[in-house]
Chains A and B, each alone.
Chain A
Amino acid sequence: MGSTVTVKGLCVSAGTATIVDRLSFTIRPGEVLALIGESGSGKTTTALALMGHARRGCRIAEGVIRIGDVDVRKLAPAQLRSLRGRTVSYIAQSAAASFNPSRTILDQVVEPALLHGTLPRAQAELKAIALFRELALPDPETIGQRYPHQVSGGQLQRLMAAMALITDPELVILDEPTTALDVTTQIEVLRAFRRVVRERQVTAVYVSHDLAVVAQMADHILVLRDGRMQELNGTDHILAQPAHEYTKSLLAAARPVTRVAARAGGDDSLLLEVSGLSAGYGPRDAQGRPQTLILEDIDLQLRRGQAIGVIGESGSGKTTLARAIAGLLAPSHGSVRFGGQALGHTLEQRSKEQLRRIQIVFQMADTALNPSHTIQDILARPLQFYKGLRGAPLQARIDELLDLVKLPRTVAGRLPGGLSGGQKQRVNLARALAAEPELILCDEVTSALDTVVGAAVLDLIAELRRELGLSILFISHDLHTVRAVCDEIVVMQHGKKLAQVARADYDRRPQHPYYELLARSVPELRRGWLDELDAARPAIARVA
């Protein structure tokens, strides 16, 4: 049973900057409060402050934090240690990074109980197994014997929840616990979390940037921006009548919008033709098949000006497909034809001109931009390399590119480290555009971005298609995103192409069962969506 959490006038500062500015809220026992906002809005900082913790360089400057009748800010370091993990527990975004890879899971799950001396080891283990069962983990009796790398990401996230709940804490903090998961996995984890939260009546704080997920979990939503509270209200109220402008923009970004981009009257000849493509890793056998086959017999056709979405869960081979088309991975069978020419299998076998015509844009703008080159250098290189531009024309073209992706020209002199995630992704796109390619391979370009920023990048891609007549192969695990920008969707699973769905048929039933599963798994922006889903599949809900 949880207790009341009261926060009054909380301020967290880093040096002279204020990260969280006079935040006040109350959570009643057994209720879930969601903190929502873009990255840098101070939501995780707020959540950590509830444990009396501030990240390095930050300081809880002011305010009252009260959990039950404990005043967190008045505690000594030793008392804080006994509070954390016991009274307040924390579930981090990446469970994979939070588990120690060299110890068994059970050892780590029972650790809080042993550290705080709430239960003897034998009882703690029994309790852990009961929690595994409650969280719908497979083989609850034996899963604890495994090591973290032997279970899936979704399972690890639930195991972390078991670790957090083993001491019966009064407050649980969930920090983006499903953000790193596939949609189909996310749904299972959400379901397990919600059941535990409801049955145990824990008080919880749920940090997320995804309104649709939050709508399933929270009783109240607090909208944060730049460390200030924009709006705090019941979930139904926020979804139905958002009062604040910013909440409205969040809601707008979370609603699927179709960005129709087809350019009328253009040349629609065949641009890319992939036939019978197989590829993989490891040594090849006598038939030339690699040891681990990632892609099997893929056929795909893309016309000029068209955008095709490739969708599938992680491990479905969608990124490998992009790498094979780009020439980064030599296929074992099949061919790739581009504009009527057969393309070489490796980069060395392709001409500079062929390389120019296909550009790839990676998911993580952080690693896709060289941190020691300025934006100017990054954009200049393809222009110098392919076109030999220099001097004034080069500068003019760089300015043009920056305008095209809607970045101020002042960013040119900066290093990537000084840009926000959305800005970096725009530079990433601009670099691909600098080569004036005919096809851009977009690999999960929006999945590392916040909802609002991601929506803006999608708008930009749609606009570029309209203006430049680009063809795009858009790879994503998010059906919403793909539906928003693509004319056709290719569904992949286990390295095989399962179905190809045209825009007109997106909502038509019946489709391939896996496509329907994916479509069903995308959280909808209304309360009770998860309940309805469970009601429709009572058998599964019970087994789970």
Chain B
Amino acid sequence: MSTLPIPLSPPGPLTVLRERLAAFGPSGLIGLAVVLFWVLAALVGPALLSRGGAEGGGDVFAPISAAHWLGTDYLGRDMLARVIEGARYTVGVAFIATLLACAAGVTLALLAAASNRWIDGALSRLLDTLTAIPSKMFALLMVAGFGSSIPMLIATAAVIYVPGSYRMARALAVNINAMDYVTVARTRGEGTWYVMRREILPNIAGPVLADMGLRFVYTVLLLASLSFLGLGVQPPDADWGSLVRENIGALAEGGASVIAPALAIASLTIAVNLVIDNLPGRAARERGAR
């Protein structure tokens, strides 16, 4: 019989990284690049800028020029600086909120699917109640009650998107829970935690990640709309949603100051979905199935 080829030394971290990247495919790599760009912009962008977003004094709604790469806003501030500074709020808040919402939703969903029907029923009804509250109203209530701050916004967005994530993951997990391999694990005497984590989770990971991408988009839009209403990030700071609102006056002239933040929102959401659609695990699974 043939022997197992054993690599002499473990592959270096760089090789592993290169292989991982190659598995993404071209469109996935483009998405990854855009996401990385915005993450870097959020982290180090403000430090690289020659002028801050708060500096005013230029022409109002100036067009794109060498001095102002993306024009200026309604107070004559540099738009590029505003967008880069806004990335921190949009990327950071939306990303953390989505992560929290999906982690909570999926964990609860796995628990509901893998344990008895009482727990399932209780969890489902509880989260149905949350779904029944309109999300904008809920956000309004929270902001009215606790004031607008960054942690508040994260918590609000997370709570709003838990039920959707739960529903989706539970529907997937219930199907997997009926599979023979889960039954085999149970007859082996495995506990609920093991069944949740090792048997069910890997098999719903693909759709759950796709759902997460979608939910990230929703969160960005929710934050943008909250800011648009004036309930989100408070001036003089602004996330991309607020930037669109502030400069809505430029829309009639087709000014860059309203299009730039809108394009930023679009590029980020599309890029996130490109990455998720091209995650390497999926292609590998499809290859293995053949």
Contacts and interface: CB of A to CB of B under 8 A. Distances in A.
Interface string A387-429: 0000000000000000000001110111111100000000000
A100 interface: no
Nearest to B181: A370
A362 B180 contact: yes
Contact of A327 (B1, B187, B290): B187
Interface in B1-52: 1-4
Contacts of A415: 285, 288
Interface residues on A, range: 35 or more
A368 B184 contact: yes
Contacts of B183: 328, 360, 362
A241 interface: no
A416 B285 CA distance: 10
A252 B3 CA distance: 32
B179 A360 contact: no
A414 to B, nearest CB: 7
B132 interface: no
Which of A360, A369, A372, A386 has the most chain B CB atoms closer than 10 A to its own CB?
A: A372
A373 interface: yes
The 3 closest A-B CB pairs, nearest first, are A417-B288, A372-B202, A417-B289
Interface in B250-290: 285, 288-290
A371 B288 CA distance: 9
A105 B111 CA distance: 42
Interface string B193-221: 00000110011010000000000000000
B145 interface: no
A385 B285 contact: no
Contacts, number: 75
A63 interface: no
Interface in A345-369: 347, 350, 352, 355-356, 358-360, 362, 364, 367-369
A435 B199 CA distance: 18
B110 to A, nearest CB: 15
A29 interface: no
Contacts of B285: 371-372, 415, 417
Contacts of B236: none
Contacts of A362: 180, 183-184
A29 B46 CA distance: 82
A162 interface: no
Given A409-B3, A412-B4, A418-B288, A368 B187 contact: no
A57 to B, nearest CB: 10
Contacts of A435: 188
Given A362-B180, A367-B180, A413-B4, A373 B202 contact: yes
B1 A359 contact: no
Interface string A485-514: 000000000000000000000000000000
B127 to A, nearest CB: 27
Nearest to B190: A385
Given A372-B202, A381-B188, A417-B290, 5 more contacts: A328-B187, A352-B189, A355-B187, A372-B203, A373-B198
Contacts of B190: 385
A408 B1 contact: yes
A326 B183 CA distance: 10
A171 to B, nearest CB: 31
Contact of B187 (A347, A373, A408): A347
Contacts of A417: 285, 288-290
B136 interface: no
Contacts of A86: none
B186 to A, nearest CB: 6
A416 B179 CA distance: 15
Contacts of B290: 417
Which of B183, B189, B199 has the most chain A CB atoms closer than 10 A to its own CB?
A: B189
Nearest to A419: B288
Contacts of A328: 183, 186-187
Contacts of A359: 187
A442 B126 CA distance: 42
A68 interface: no
A139 to B, nearest CB: 35
A431 interface: yes
A509 B6 CA distance: 60
Contacts of A408: 1-2
Given A367-B180, A370-B203, A347 B186 contact: yes
